[in-house]
Chain A
Amino acid sequence: MQYQRGRWSRVIEFLIEWLIRISGISAILFVFGIFFFVFKEGAGFLVTKWKPIEFFTSVEWYPTSLSNKRYGILAIIAGSASVTLLAMMIAIPFSLGAAVFISEFCAPKLKEVLKVLIEFLAAIPSVVWGFIGLMIMNPLIIKIFNAPIGLNVLNGGIILALMSIPIIVSISEDALKAVPDSYREAAIALGVTKWQMIYRVLIPAAKNGLLAGGLLGVGRSIGETMAVLLATGHAVQIPNGPLDSVRTLTATIAAELGETEQGADHWQVLFIIGIFLFSITFVINLIAYLVVKGIRIQAGDS
């Protein structure tokens, strides 16, 4: 039985399928677009006046000086690095512990509740986290550590850790869940305890996914803006300890862009920092993606 589908409906179908294809590649277009437009704003300075060695190795960041403008971001990089490092040192152990608990030890009902709570944790906006850092952690740190100021690496590190934990837990839990039950059963059949099974069999089997989770946590921390803007203080310096104030790459852009004139040198340099940030997170995400793909190839072979 052949009826004639209206010519019209076939044309519409053709158009819709092309619209779908274009939307499909839109993600690629947007990623390129982001790189292009950020690069475009900073391109002028990049091509003519940029001194890469001084840029990356000098701690002297004086973009607003009237007589001697200097654009060294080493101290700012140190700011980002120190806060991220501290955040990961806190977040990774806790995340791993929570992921193992949820995946291996938890009763199903409690599992649902915990996963919901972690989703809530993930939903908290970054400016609210920054606010918590400013109004709650700040006085707390001053009181506990007798510090002169509570807006520092420690504050930012704790806040960033709390922000990164949900994503690391979520990916780690997926990675543990993906390990076939046959591994667990085989280990238990050999008479090992649950902990030994987790430590010797499960975690090594899931290591790719766990690594990817950690990497994405790092990416999240480096890219975080509002929370660190509010919580780490405003000092452009290499920190001597966790109680020192710092400025991150993200906070520098956010704090200073509003003060610059469109097209000015300072403006362009901030965009260049943006390119730098984008490149870092791009590489981290790429590595995490390849690491995860590594799992899939392994699983396919077995």
Chain B
Amino acid sequence: MHPFQETIHSKSRQRKETYIKGLFCCMTIAIIIPLILIIGYMLHEASPVLSADFLLKAPERGMKAGGIWPALLGTIYLVMMSLVVAAPIGVMAAIYLNEYAGDNWLTRTVNLAVINLAGVPSIVHALFGLGAFVLFAGMGKSILAASLTLAVMTLPVIITSTKESLAAVPMAFREACWNVGATKWQTIRRVVIPNSISGMLTGFILEVSRAAGETAPIMFTGAVFYKAVEEGNLFAYNLTDQCMALSMHLFTISTQVPGVPEAIPFATAIVLLGTVLVINAFSIAFRIYLRSRKRW
């Protein structure tokens, strides 16, 4: 028998191999297919009500009709405020971790804290926001308190993605800058940051997507069941007001209001889901665009 000739054993091993590959492939697909089916079903149920009016009009007749404008606007306020707070702190924290921190216990603790912060249950964030911002800081239930709660919650997202983009800048660039007498901060400001902006922006987009979808942290810190707001007015809310929010609204009309025609919650869910997925798609497309535009 030829030494390299295929034996029965090797044939059956190869067949087993193909089965295994097929099994793993199926497992992967099994995760994705139900999702597509679910979204399709939701779209179908939502279609009677989805329209531009749905987005721009306020709820009517006790939420059993009308649109979701106050909730949409509220979410925009909350998300923008949380980004404004979380972005500078997160970026600076990432700069500290990647550029200044030495290899010592403090750095390890900070890294551990970031991971822990990312793993805190959302309801605990709500309790924190309630205790710290609403009560202790005296902000009361307000957009301000809710945004700050969201900012603390999404801080790890910004820290992690900014840190990655900073770390992607080769060390050789920093050394070349130090060699000509530039200080650490000058190097960071003139070379490192401009070449990490893209990664930072990706982090911001991710933050926005997460903040828009959260319910628990805003439930007790500023989001509210119903609030009458002027339709189409982008400045309808004050920072000290409570507000409606898309995520909260979905929860409310699914569980707290009897007799709502099913199309409305489905449509709200689709708007929320669609918003979040579009934002994420943006971030992914942005990342792909950046990869093609490498500057070194």
Are any A and B Cβ atoms less than 8 Å apart in their complex? yes
Residues of A within 8 A of B (CB): 13, 16-17, 19-21, 23-28, 30-31, 33-34, 37-38, 40-41, 93-94, 97-98, 100-102, 105, 114, 116-121, 123-128, 130-132, 134-136, 162, 165, 193-195, 216, 219-220, 222-226, 229-230, 250, 253-254, 257-258, 262, 270-271, 274, 277-278, 281-282, 284-286, 288-289
Contacts of A98 in B (CB 8 A): 24, 27-28, 31
Decide: B250 and A38 in contact? CB cutoff 8 A: no
Q: A98-B27, A262-B135 given as contacts; is B155 within 8 A of A27 (CB)? A: yes
**How far in angstroms is the closest Cβ of chain B from A30?**
5
Closest 5 CB pairs of A and B: A125-B213, A24-B96, A223-B121, A97-B27, A23-B92
* B85-97 near A? 1/0 per residue, CB < 8 Å: 0001110110111
Decide: B213 and A127 in contact? CB cutoff 8 A: yes
Decide: B120 and A125 in contact? CB cutoff 8 A: no
Q: A119-B280, A230-B255 given as contacts; is B120 within 8 A of A13 (CB)? A: no
Which among B116, B220, B255 has the greatest number of chain A C-beta atoms within 10 A? Answer: B116
Q: A24-B93, A101-B24, A285-B116 given as contacts; is B276 within 8 A of A123 (CB)? A: yes
Decide: A37 and B23 in contact? CB cutoff 8 A: no
Contacts of B250 in A (CB 8 A): 127-128, 131
Main secondary structure of the interface of B (DSSP, over half): helix
Asked whether B80 is an interface residue with its Cβ less than 8 Å from the other chain, the reply is no
Chain B's closest residue to A14 (CB) is: B185
Decide: A27 and B27 in contact? CB cutoff 8 A: no
Decide: B123 and A254 in contact? CB cutoff 8 A: yes
Chain A's closest residue to B112 (CB) is: A289
Decide: A30 and B152 in contact? CB cutoff 8 A: yes
Complex Cα distance, B116 from A61, in Å, reads: 30
Decide: A120 and B280 in contact? CB cutoff 8 A: yes
**How far in angstroms is the closest Cβ of chain A from B180?**
11
**Chain B interface bracket (under 10, 10 to 19, 20 to 34, 35 or more):** 35 or more
Contacts of A13 in B (CB 8 A): 183, 185-186
Complex Cα distance, B117 from A285, in Å, reads: 9
Decide: A31 and B16 in contact? CB cutoff 8 A: no
Asked whether B169 is an interface residue with its Cβ less than 8 Å from the other chain, the reply is no
**How far in angstroms is the closest Cβ of chain A from B253?**
10
Decide: B123 and A250 in contact? CB cutoff 8 A: yes
Contacts of A118 in B (CB 8 A): 31
Complex Cα distance, B115 from A216, in Å, reads: 10
Complex Cα distance, B92 from A16, in Å, reads: 9
Decide: B117 and A30 in contact? CB cutoff 8 A: yes
Decide: A119 and B35 in contact? CB cutoff 8 A: no
Contacts of A162 in B (CB 8 A): 31, 34-35
Chain B's closest residue to A100 (CB) is: B24
**The residue from B42, B89, B184 contacting A26, defined by CB atoms under 8 A apart:** B89
Chain A's closest residue to B27 (CB) is: A97
